[in-house]
Amino acid sequence: MPTMRKKAGLLRLIGRLRWIHVAPLFAVLTLTAWAFASPVGASPDDDYHLVSTWCALGGSDACQPTADEQFRYVSTAFHSVTCYALVSTRSAACQDQAGLALDGAKNETYRGNFQHKYPGVYYGTMRLFAGDDLQRSALVMRLFNAAVFVGLATALSVLLNVSRRQTLLWGWLVSLVPLGVFLIPSNNPSGWAITGVGTAFLALLGWFESSGKRRWALGALYVVGIVMAAGARGDAAVYAAGATIVASLLTAGMRREWFLRSILPLAGLIVIGLLFLTTMQTDVGLQGFAGAGSAAVPGLGGGSVPGLGGGSTKPTGGLALAAYNLLMLPYLWTGVWGTWALGWFDTVLPAVVPWAAGAAFVAVAFAGIGLLNRRKATAIAGVLAVLIVLPVYLLTVGGDAVGGQLQPRYLLPLIVLLALVLVTAPPGSRTVRFTRLQTFAILGALALANLVALQVNIRRYVTGTDRQGLNLDSGAEWWWPGLQVGPMAVWLIGSISFAALLAALWPELRRKVVEPLNEASGNFTHVISQNN
């Protein structure tokens, strides 16, 4: 009897399953494919970040103190892993020669978070997964980070009302391909900065707009978001504060209820402030980015931007430099859609990636501009102002031109915030919605961008870019030792599950929804009709 009842219960559960319920699984698969698409050390400054992880919370076998506070004795493996960095024709096979054993040779280094340049939460958390096997540990960290992103996004989708769920989906989709999907499942704190800022904005919006238990759960997610962002990078702390302010502004009503609820964001700002003060990245605001141990940007950037306004015309100081940076700014922004190379700026993406992913952003964001009220306009103006002034100021103060020092990944959390704000429907307004073919065009463009970017990314590491071809398995010089699944399979899994994810999300994105007028009544969102 009990087994039968259990079986009937299971059947009922299966009966209730909808395609949308598979979405988290597809998202995990997509990000897992990206986690395996790059070898250890592949994201910018990963030698720095890996060392910082192993040295966090008092260090480990692979990281010992030295007499000098600014240095540590660390395994040379952390440096060796990046042997292919900046040389796009070199595959990751050079790691085998260099050796990735953590118990091998050690040397003294200053490249690590020894002076609190970065906040400690990210490295402290990653330290929990830092074991004796560098590759295995790094992979576990990546999978953990991917799971955290998908877990938070799923929890938010469940807790938010239908209209805000669309905000979440469109906002994340149009801002994460390809740089976001590269960074989230990586060993780079930029991944947390992205996850944290977006989560904090959505959760706080929900905190103000919903009621009951959901509200408290959303409040908790807000706290998770700001701690992740402000605990990963100093600039992300500033963005988290921005997300807090924007969400508060969008929902502000001068009533007792709102003031009571705004205690949470106020407390949030204090937490952010505290985390920010634990870092020294604050200096960046004054001195430009030159100090924070960042990689020189070759090719598209530093010396000469091929094609785009680079070379001989670059000014060297003052107003002219500011003007140049202002006019070249879109090149920095669009870096998140792939005008900049991935990894150590050595994985150049073909033009179809930035134009497909960028066009998806432009089309969706523009539809969002069509749904405007005064406070949303103010919020957009504010975020845009930061997106313009911050990079232009930092670059110009540091004497740099667009392409040097300041990388798109620093701005990505802010672009995520911009995307989310743009697709936030004002109260009483319908949400962003497209015809069936338009929706197909947008999602198709995103799936295409992901497909191409993932292939190019894997190709760059298995053979280097000096070999090309569809088949990633043939002539592979490097792959994860002991992994049953080959490069080709990882590519196919990653691109198919992303396409499947988009297909599963389709009905949700096409649903006709009106954001409720009453700001604190998220439960009463009425779905006008399913589909069409």
Considering beta carbons, is residue 49 or 90 the nearer one to another protein?
Answer: 90
Q: Where are the alpha helices (DSSP H) in 160-233?
A: 162-176, 179-183, 190-209, 212-230
Q: Where are the alpha helices (DSSP H) in 252-373?
A: 256-261, 263-277, 284-287, 318-333, 352-369
Angle of helix 190-209 versus helix 162-176 axis, rounded to 10: 160
Please confirm whether the linkage preceding 426 is cis (ω < 30° from 0): no
What is the CB-side half-sphere exposure of residue 425 using CA atoms within 13 A? 24
Rounded to a whole number of angstroms, the minimum distance from the CB of residue 364 to another protein is 10
Considering beta carbons, is residue 41 or 354 the nearer one to another protein?
Answer: 354
400-431 in b/e burial notation, b at 16+ Cβ within 10 A? Answer: bbbbbbbbbbbbbbbbbbbbbbbbbbbbebeb
Rounded to a whole number of angstroms, the minimum distance from the CB of residue 238 to another protein is 25
Rounded to a whole number of angstroms, the minimum distance from the CB of residue 456 to another protein is 9
Considering beta carbons, is residue 62 or 472 the nearer one to another protein?
Answer: 472
Rounded to a whole number of angstroms, the minimum distance from the CB of residue 97 to another protein is 23
Smallest Cα–Cα separation from 481: which of 93, 206, 67? 93
Considering beta carbons, is residue 306 or 482 the nearer one to another protein?
Answer: 306
46-85 in b/e burial notation, b at 16+ Cβ within 10 A? Answer: bbbbbbbbbbbeebbebbeeeeeeebbebbbbbbbbbbbb
Rounded to a whole number of angstroms, the minimum distance from the CB of residue 295 to another protein is 20
Rounded to a whole number of angstroms, the minimum distance from the CB of residue 305 to another protein is 9
Query: What token pair was written down for 387?
Result: 């997106």
Considering beta carbons, is residue 348 or 476 the nearer one to another protein?
Answer: 348
Considering beta carbons, is residue 65 or 370 the nearer one to another protein?
Answer: 370
Q: Are 279 and 453 in contact (CB under 8 A)?
A: no
Q: Which residues pair with 106 in a beta bridge?
A: 75
Considering beta carbons, is residue 186 or 334 the nearer one to another protein?
Answer: 334
Q: Are 228 and 268 in contact (CB under 8 A)?
A: no
Q: Is 393 exposed, middle or buried (0-12, 13-18, 19+ CB in 10 A)?
A: middle
Rounded to a whole number of angstroms, the minimum distance from the CB of residue 90 to another protein is 12
Q: What share of the chain is helix, strand, coil (3-state, %, to 5)?
A: 60, 5, 35
Considering beta carbons, is residue 359 or 493 the nearer one to another protein?
Answer: 359
376-391 in b/e burial notation, b at 16+ Cβ within 10 A? Answer: beebbeebeebbeebb
Considering beta carbons, is residue 155 or 365 the nearer one to another protein?
Answer: 365
- Write out the residues near another protein by the rule CB under 8 A: 88-89, 306-313, 315, 320, 323-324, 326-331, 334, 348, 350-352, 354-356, 358-359, 362-363, 366, 369-370, 372, 377, 402, 434-435, 437-438, 441, 452, 465-466, 468-470
Query: What token pair was written down for 350?
Result: 């073909």
Rounded to a whole number of angstroms, the minimum distance from the CB of residue 167 to another protein is 19
Considering beta carbons, is residue 249 or 362 the nearer one to another protein?
Answer: 362
* CA distances, 198 to each of 238, 301, 389, 420 (Å): 13, 28, 21, 8
Q: Are 18 and 171 in contact (CB under 8 A)?
A: no
Considering beta carbons, is residue 218 or 445 the nearer one to another protein?
Answer: 445
DSSP 411-438: HHHHHHHHHHHHTPPPTTSBPP---HHH
Considering beta carbons, is residue 176 or 371 the nearer one to another protein?
Answer: 371
Rounded to a whole number of angstroms, the minimum distance from the CB of residue 217 to another protein is 35
Rounded to a whole number of angstroms, the minimum distance from the CB of residue 316 to another protein is 10
Q: Is 139 exposed, middle or buried (0-12, 13-18, 19+ CB in 10 A)?
A: buried
Rounded to a whole number of angstroms, the minimum distance from the CB of residue 441 to another protein is 6
Rounded to a whole number of angstroms, the minimum distance from the CB of residue 285 to another protein is 25
Give counts: helices (H), strands (E), the chain: 21, 5
Q: Are 416 and 180 in contact (CB under 8 A)?
A: yes
Rounded to a whole number of angstroms, the minimum distance from the CB of residue 391 to another protein is 13
Considering beta carbons, is residue 212 or 306 the nearer one to another protein?
Answer: 306
User: Residue type at 499?
Assistant: A
